Chains A and B, each alone.
Chain A
Amino acid sequence: MTVFGYRLPGMSSLLIWGLLWEVVGQLDLTFFIPALSEVISTLFTVIQTSAFQVALAETAYAFLAGVFFAIVIGIPIGILMGKNRLIDEMLLPWVNVFLSAPLTALVPVLMVLFGFGMKSIIITTTLFAIWIIILNARAGVKQINRSLVEMARSFGASPVDAFTKIYFWAALPEILGGVRIGVIRAVKGVIIGQLLISIVGFGALFELYSANFLMSHFWAVLIVLFALAFTISEFLAYLERRVSYYAAKR
């Protein structure tokens, strides 16, 4: 956008929204919304506390582990579904059901099955992320140019070669798109898991802050989480753009 001939950098509108927040906070309308300046100064004290750092480390661990399993299980399953009609018929209904299912409702079941600890949170995270990764990998393989597959076969490619040198790369733009959406869902999964299980990570922190009406602490942690999720998503979007040069020309 340009104003008075000046090109404004992206997301300049955030300044206006930040200003509005500050005004509402300063007016002291509700305890629920402290001024932004207060939240930010709290943010800097909060991130130095060991409680925050432990929560961040635990969340990062659960998140990375969950995303890792979602990717290493999801991508091969998606590729297999795209390649093999039988596997596709067997799994597709389940993938679609779980994609749209309210997975939050499953978390109590997971807690019963896997206990109240890290394991359940990791599984929750994986369950949030994996379905869209599977579906996108499958879609990527489905649109593959048949003659690339024939070409590989005609030069004697083994099934493993075809898998790693043709199918994976041909589907990579879709796979990365799926991973990006999956990662965003994994952020939800890891937080929801922690909130429901609520004895580790940010879940415990949120519980503590909201129970004690520490609203500026609450908002500070929330801002950190939003910023982290947004950064991860933008990084993956950047990776996606790097392969998009061939996405349109396969």
Chain B
Amino acid sequence: MAMSQIKPALVAVPGSDIAVSTRNITKFYGYVEALRDLSLEFPRGQLTSLLGPSGCGKTTLLKIIGGLLEPTSGEVEVNGQTVTGPGPDRAFVFQDFALLPWASVMRNVAFGLEMRGVGRSEREDIAARYIKEVGLAGFEKAYPHQLSGGMRQRVGLARALSVDAQVLLMDEPFSAVDEQTRRKFQEDLLSLVQNENKTFIFVTHSIEEAVYVSDQIAILLPRPSRVSEIIRPSNFREKGVDNIRRDPEYLDIVDQIWSSLRSYVE
């Protein structure tokens, strides 16, 4: 098969350094063990998906990396620095968009900068640039309830981009938008990964989506969660966005992931 498989025992990814690494993360919710001894490395400038059945702790892991949750034991390092809470090196994109319903698109996109104490005119300049970049120029004064689901997530994305964090944490960002919008988002995400030189950590429950957008896929299995395998698709992405979905390697990986997840889905 034309792909390299790496067992959870970590092997350095050739040709790139590590932006984020989690070491022996264990997380208990009361007596429930959500994550057990989970170690993963996220190469810089690449997109890593966390994929698994529901309840496998992928969102928990993402929130631990984001500093929103504290692990029971183990640690997260971002650029060699141990994470103790949220920080300017990471930005979140939320599943339900998490926009301020009382604030305009402009204020929402600038909100991250506002929290970081950037002055009003400067942060609105930056926000305007990213509003344009995600294709929402002309909607600066609109309110979230006037936008479609897809446009709202573009606002969420622009907000995360505008703080210029090196690591983007995306929690099932496209699961609340319709199928066509979603495909467009996936294509946009690929060019974003290519142009932005940021590290993306992407939680999804869609196998096709994970294979389509990822440089590296970490398959998580539940109860308690651990990494069961890491898949690095090799070369179909260079063939262009239009050809990915009918590439034999793409189809093989989708099938292979499904066969390993099948028994965990009720």
Contacts and interface: CB of A to CB of B under 8 A. Distances in A.
B115 A155 contact: yes
Contacts of A249: 101, 144-145
A145 B143 CA distance: 17
Instruction: Determine chain B's interface SS by DSSP, over half rule.
Output: loop
B112 interface: yes
A250 B99 CA distance: 9
A157 interface: yes
Interface residues of A, number: 21
B100 A155 contact: no
A246 B101 contact: yes
Instruction: Determine chain A's interface SS by DSSP, over half rule.
Output: helix
A150 B101 contact: no
Interface string A115-154: 0000000000000000000000000000001011011111
Contacts of B102: 169, 172, 243, 246
Contacts of B90: 154
B86 A154 contact: yes
B229 to A, nearest CB: 29
B98 A147 contact: yes
A158 to B, nearest CB: 8
Nearest to B87: A156
Contact of B88 (A153, A156, A172): A156
A173 to B, nearest CB: 10
A245 interface: yes
A169 B115 contact: no
Contact of A155 (B96, B101, B116, B144): B116
Contact of B115 (A145, A152, A172, A243): A152
Nearest to B108: A151
A232 B87 CA distance: 46
B203 to A, nearest CB: 14
A234 interface: no
Interface in B48-66: 63, 66
Contacts of A28: none
Contacts of A250: 101
A145 B163 CA distance: 23
Interface of B: 63, 66-68, 86-88, 90-92, 94-96, 98, 100-102, 111-112, 114-116, 143-145, 163
25 contacts: A145-B96, A145-B98, A147-B94, A147-B96, A147-B98, A148-B100, A150-B68, A150-B92, A151-B94, A151-B98, A151-B111, A153-B68, A153-B86, A154-B66, A154-B90, A154-B91, A155-B92, A155-B112, A156-B86, A156-B88, A156-B115, A156-B116, A161-B115, A172-B102, A245-B143
Interface of A: 145, 147-148, 150-157, 161, 165-166, 169, 172, 243, 245-246, 249-250
